[in-house]
Each structure stands twice: as C-alpha cells, then as structure tokens.
Structure 1
Amino acid sequence: MKLATWNVNGINARLPLLLRWLEESMPDVVCLQELKAPDAKFPHEALTDAGYGALWRGQPSWNGVAILARGAQPIEIRRELPGDPSDTEARYLEAAVEGMIVASIYLPNGNPQPGPKFDRKLRWFERMNRHAQSLWDTGLPVVLAGDWNVVPTDDVADIYATRSWHDDALLQPEPRAAWQALLAQGWVDAIRHLHPDEPLYTFWDYLRQRWPRNAGLRIDHLLLSEPLAQVLAGAGVDRDVRGWEHASDHAPVWVTFD
C-alpha cells in the first residue's frame, strides 16, 4: 500500500505531470492540495481514465484539495474543518478509503506576519489540532496528509542553511509550537521517523535558483495514527518530479505500509 501527498500548484496546469507521475509511481491513495480550480473544472475524466476515483473540493483561483484512490472511490466524511462555520476556503477534505481515514490538508500560509493572515493561520491550526485529537481518539488508522506550511525546526534536515526565511510565517515559534502540540497527541511524522537526520525537502521556491541549489524546505508532511505507524514500511520524497519542465514548486511525498 502506497499513499502520497502533493501540492500540485494548479491541477489543470500540471495535469500532464500529474498523470505522468501517477503512471510511474502508481500510488494507491493520493492527497492533492492547491488545485486552483472550481469544482466544475476538476479533471475527473482524465483521472478516471488513469484508473483513479476522485473526491475533490475546489475553489476558483486559490486553495482546493482532493483525494484520489487507484481502482476505488473515496467515500466522503467531511468537506471542511470543524469549528468555524464562516470558513469557506477549500483547505480540508476527509474520506474513508482503503480501510483508512485520510485527510487532505492545506494549512494557511500566514504571510505576512505579524498580521491578520498570520492570526488566521494560528486559529486554523488550533482547529486542526482539536479535530486531529478527535480522530486520534477513535483508534482507527488515520493519515493526516498535506501542505502544512510549517517548517518544524531550523535543522538542515528541515531547511537549508539560510537566514532569508527567518521572518517568514512558516518558521515562527507559534506554528512550530502548534506542530509540536499535534505530535504530542501521538501522531508519527513518517518522514522524520524513518529518516531522522536526512534532508528530505518537499518545497523549493521558484526564485534564486533554489531548486538547482537544493535550497529547500520540508513543509509537506504525512502524520500517521498508531495502527498505521506500526505497519510503516517506507517513506520518501519524489524529488526528481520538482525538476520536470513546468513543475510545481512542491514534490510528492509518500509512505508505504506492510
């Protein structure tokens, strides 16, 4: 069983790359973020032809999340994060698929900080942690997958040696504290669990030749509940995908289970 997450940065703009990656990597379950497309423009026919059932929540121009399953149809559980009825942004989708609960997550970026966007990021993170606790308490196999927009530490395993990001919302103490509070519930950070010291970046900005220099950040994460952590067999980043022509600025992150 292989499960992956990928911020595609525009699903229709990257559709040929997505289809190529699906064919080459053959993941069983995929969480996508930043679709940047309304529901009616989601390319479900192309994905069906590729062998994947899909569940999606779109939004024009921004945000958007989806869950794909190879040879199966994800069963929707919820389409928004609980706790704020006024939140209309397409940032959360939860489904039952392949015997698991799978959540595709696109946490707010929060820039510029300080300011209202950063405050909204922290409120969203707080809601996420409350809902994550309720999922953990079920004892079921759960995956929280997506673009969390938080660099967990300043270690080279999470971010290249730089000072240029230190004022960015992704590195601030408050979201990092929220991340640590989430892990304290018991969730296992799959990449870090199997590769404790290896720099496995998931995002490289388009500016300043950051991809060729491997000046990256680790902001896309797969968190596992205990039943899945016990059968975790592998984890990695399909780094080469970031080097494809017209690529997203993120690379797919994946785990495998026995």
Structure 2
Amino acid sequence: MSRPATGLSHGSDPVRILSWNIEHGRAVKEARRWISRLPAEPDVVCVQELRPGDEELLQEPWGTGYVAEPRPGSSHANAIFVREDGDAAFVVTDAFDHPAVLGHAPANVAVRLRGPDGSLSDRALSLFCIHASFNSPTTRLIEAEFLNRFAQPGWLTVAMGDFNDAPAGTVVDWDEVTDRAFYAHRTYPLAGGERPTDDRADRTLRAAGYIDPAAWAAEHLRLEKDPLAPTAGYRRPDQGGLRRVDRAYVTGPLAPAICGYWVGDRIEDPELEDISDHLPVMLELDRTELSRLMSNRQASTAA
C-alpha cells in the first residue's frame, strides 16, 4: 500500500484531511477498507460522488457524515466525515447548506480544534468538499468565485475535492485529444475562436489569496513522494492522459501549518485504480501551528 509522504520541516503531530472522488461509489466498501488500512488515520474524509444511503456505510469508521443536497437529476453528492472518537482532532460546531445552482452543491462544515484538555479553539476552521462541473468551464469559474467568498482577510478555510480543471501553467496538446467533447469541457472560447486550456478557476482562487498546498509543499518541504503527482486520467488516453484535477486550497494564514501532502500511488498500490478513476489526496496540517492560528481571538473567522 502507498504510504503517506510527510513533510520533514514541521511538527510530528499532524491533523490529516483526506479527499477522494470514489467514482459514483461503485466500490465504496473497498474505498472504506483502503482508508482504514492507512498507517496515518485521517481526521476528516471528504468524499465526492457518494451515492444516497452510502453515508451509513462510512459513518461508523469515519464519523458523522455531512452530505450536501444532490443536484437535481444526479445520483451522487459531496460529503464530509469528521472523526468523533475520544482522540478526534475536531468538533463540528455548524453545518451549512449551499444549494447547487448549476453544479454539485459543496458540503461545508465549521470545526473547532480540540485541545489536550478537551477545550475547543476560539476560532473555527471552515471545511469544504467540492466537486466542480465536469463539462462547463463557465460553471467552474462561478464555483471558484463562490469559494472566494470564504477567502476574506484572516479567514481560515480549507477546500478539497475534484476541481475538474487544470492548475495554472498546465500545457495540453489538444490536437492529440480525440474525445472532442472533453476538449470542449476543459477549454474555454476566446473572441478569435481559440480555446485555451481552462485554468481560470485555479487562477481565480489564487488571485483571492488561496494557496495550493501541494505546490506549497513541493517548494517548501522535503517529501518522500511528489505532491504534484497526477490524480486522474489514467484510464482515458483519449482525453490527453494524466492530470492533477484533485486538489486542495487553503487560505493564506494556514500556509505555516502545512506540513505534508501526498497523492495515492496506483503503481505501488494497483488496488486504487480498481476502486476509482481518481486517486485520493491527503493534506497534513501541523497541530501546534493550527492551534496557534485557531486561538487568535482578534481575527475574523470563516464560520
């Protein structure tokens, strides 16, 4: 099994948030078993494409599930599961509904960090599970602009999920992509008829002050594995091959807490490819630094 790659320049007691698009939940039991075997148990699990009723299969090992309302006509939804045992890092203090206008509604909860004595942090951390539109670059841009509402100065926000677009700077040879519908899905039109690779959601989030922790970790941490490894596309050579669509974003104040980021390895662990057409990703935040950030009474909160 793939082992988490941990940053070596921060503390040794990270809080872990895992995100995974489980492909319409067709192998949800196998996904549950895979996560349960991880040597580093996640404190939060964000799931995309969860089928109605399957949250009952996941609540026992992962905690209460906060499931977003499925989009009309869709058979799956976003969900956030937060550990609730005695050693749990977080306590959920609120859950929010964000009805889907065009795409999938995000799951969103506010959590407070539990201290060694059981006390809760002064400030809340806002967690989002996102599944961006697969076929509309316009919708993805709107969804990114929605997230920017939670990036105001001083706010503590983590958004993880399947963003279905390319990070800024991604180069794709679209002449080699034979699935032309996919080409239309992942590019956007300019006035002259050109269709560049759609990276506008990523650029919009970064413009608002969000940080891509995988890119941050690649620059600032020494990791065992590449945090910028691709997460999808390994089944679809007609769509241009591998790409990093499953990502995380954190607001700027959380950057000092980033201590690790890893992507599941389908080569070392072939079972992953059988479970889903996406690989899981995990963000690690240093607990001591996170506690400091969440104890600042003077700053605004995202909750």
Q: What interval of TM-score do these two structures reach, taking the shorter chain for normalisation?
A: 0.7 to 0.9
- Displacement of 1:149 after TM fit? 0.5
SS at match of 2:138: helix
1:130-188 deviation line (CA, Å, top 9, x unaligned): x32321116232101111110124647xx799832782523544741232121111111
Please give the root-mean-square deviation of Cα atoms over the aligned residues, in Å.
3.2
The offset of 1:3, in angstroms, is 0.8
1:66 to 2:82 alignment: no
Q: TM-score, normalised by structure 2?
A: 0.66
Q: Give, in whole Å, the separation in 2 of the partners of 1:178 and 1:90.
A: 15
Question: Counterpart of 1:67 in structure 2: which amino acid?
Answer: I
SS of equivalent to 2:149: helix
Measure, in 1, the Cα distance between the counterparts of 2:64 and 2:173: 37
* Structure 1 stretches lacking a partner, 5+ long: 111-117
The number of aligned residues is 234
Query: Counterpart in 2 of 1:5?
Result: 19
State the alpha-carbon separation in 2 of the partners of residues 102 and 181 from structure 1. 19
AA of the residue aligned to 2:275: A
The whole-number CA distance in structure 2 between the counterparts of 1:105 and 1:57 is 10
Matched, 1:79 2:97: yes
Aligned with residue 54 of structure 2, among 33, 36, 42:
42
SS of alignment partner, residue 246 of structure 1: helix
Q: Is the 8 A contact 2:59 2:81 kept in 1?
A: no
**Cα distance in 1 for residues equivalent to 2:237 and 2:185:** 20
Q: Secondary structure at the match of 1:150?
A: coil
Deviation of 1:227 after TM superposition, in Å, equals 2.6
Alignment of 1:235 with 2:248, yes or no, is no
TM-score normalised per structure 1:
0.77
Give the match for residue 170 of structure 1.
186
The alpha carbon displacement at 1:88 in A equals 6.9
C-alpha displacement of 1:18 = 1.9
Aligned to 1:203: 232
1:253 aligns with 2:281: yes
CA distance in 1, matches of 2:280, 2:166: 16
| Aligned sequence identity (%) | 22
Question: Structure 1 168/236 Cα, relative in aligned 2: closer, same or farther at 3 Å?
Answer: farther
- For residues 48-59 of structure 1, the aligned pairs below 5 Å read 48-57=59-68, 59=70
Distance 1:126 1:56, change over 3 A: same
Q: Distance in 2 between matches of 1:154 and 1:124?
A: 17
Counterpart of 1:97?
111
Whether contact under 8 Å (2:263, 2:281) holds in the other structure is yes
